[in-house]
Amino acid sequence: MSWKITAFADRATIEHALIAHEDALDWDPEIVISGCEVAEDKPDDWRLDAWLDHKPRKADTNALAALFSGKAPSFHVEELPETDWLVSSQQDLEPIRAGIFHVHTPDHPAIEEPGMVDFTIPASQAFGTGQHATTAGCLAMLTHMKRQGVIVRNCADIGTGTGLLAFAALALWPRTIATASDIDAVCPAVVESNAKLNGITMGEGNGELVMTVAAGMDHPLLHARGPYDLIMANILAGPLVSLAPDFGPALVPGGHLVLAGLLETQEPAVRQACQRAGLRLAARMVNGDWSILWLRKRRNWSAI
C-alpha cells in the first residue's frame, strides 16, 4: 500500500515549500512531492501532496513541516489502494497542441493536419507526456527556434523521461544526431517503446536516437558524442543551476540551450548560473507559472 500526505495553503506558501524542497540536499528520495492549485477558479488556493510507500513516520511529517517558513499548515494523511498512481493520473489526459506538435495518449486519435507533427505518448512511469506546462513550453520553444532559422546537427536531451523532446528535435531537424539521457533506470525501456510507436529509429547515425542512463552530463557517452548544437533539459531549477557549468563546455560556440522545469521566481538564479557559464538569453516564454529559456553560448567564450 502507499500513503499520501496533503497540506493546503496559499500559493506563495506552497511555492516556497516547493523551492525549499529543491534546495534540501538531504531530502529523502522516497518522499515524492508536488504542488498545484486546488481549482481553476481559485488560483490562490494551493495544495502540497507528498507520496510515500510506507505509513508516514514522525520524521516524515517533520521533514515536510521544515519546508514551510514559520508554522506549517495541518497535514491530512490517507492510505491509498495499490495502483500505479503516475500511470493512473495520466490515462485520461487530453491531447495538447504546442508549436507544430500534437501530443496525445493512445486513448485519443492521431490527427492528420498539414504542418502538424503527431506523437503518441502512452501514460508511463517516466515524465513528459506533453501535458505539463514545461514540456509543452519546450515544444513551443523548439518550434520557434526552427522558424528563426536555427540549424541543429547534433543534440542532447538531458532528463528525457519519455523521450518526447528528443523526438521533437528529430522531427524538426531530421538529419540531426540525437542523444537522450535520464537518471531514472526505467527510462531506456520507455523511450525505446515510445520510439517504436512513433517511427523513431534507435541508433547512432543521422536521424537516429541513442539513449543512456546518466546523472546530468557526467557520462562517457555524453562526452564522446559532444559537443552539441542543441542541449535540452526539462528538469528542476536546482539541478539546472548545478549543471550550468557543464552545459557551457558541452556546446559548440554559438550553440543552443533550452531549459525548463523552473518557476518564474526561480528564473533569475538559473539565468545567473548560465551567464557565468558563457550563455546569454536568446528568448524566453512563460507557460502558466513556468519559464522556458532559450540561451546561446557566446562564440568567444572559454572556461577559465
For 46-73, write each residue's pLDDT tens digit. Answer: 998 888 878 899 999 999 999 998 888 9
pLDDT of residue 85: 43
For 247-302, write each residue's pLDDT tens digit. Answer: 999 999 999 999 998 888 899 999 999 999 999 999 999 887 889 999 999 877 55
Strands 177-182 and 154-158 come out as parallel
Boundaries of every domain in the chain: 2-82, 131-297
Q: What is the pTM of this model?
A: 0.72
* 176: Cβ contacts below 8 Å, ≥ 6 apart: 152, 153, 154, 155, 169, 170, 206, 207, 229, 230
Are 126 and 165 in contact by the 8 Å Cβ rule? The answer is no
SS3 assignment, position 166: helix
Scan for cell 559537443, then name that residue: 227
CATH architecture of 2-82: 2-Layer Sandwich (3.30)
Rounded CA gap, 40 and 198, in Å?
33
For 61-115, write each residue's pLDDT tens digit. Answer: 999 999 998 888 999 998 876 554 454 444 456 788 899 999 988 878 888 888 8
Hey, do 2-82 and 131-297 end up sharing a CATH topology, with the first three levels equal?
A: no
Angle in degrees, 0-180, between the axes of helices 164-172 and 187-197, rounded to the nearest 10: 40
Scan for cell 533539459, then name that residue: 233
Q: How many residues does the chain have?
A: 304
Instruction: Tell whether the torsion through CA atoms of 103, 108, 113 and 118 is positive or negative.
Output: positive
Class of domain 131-297: alpha beta
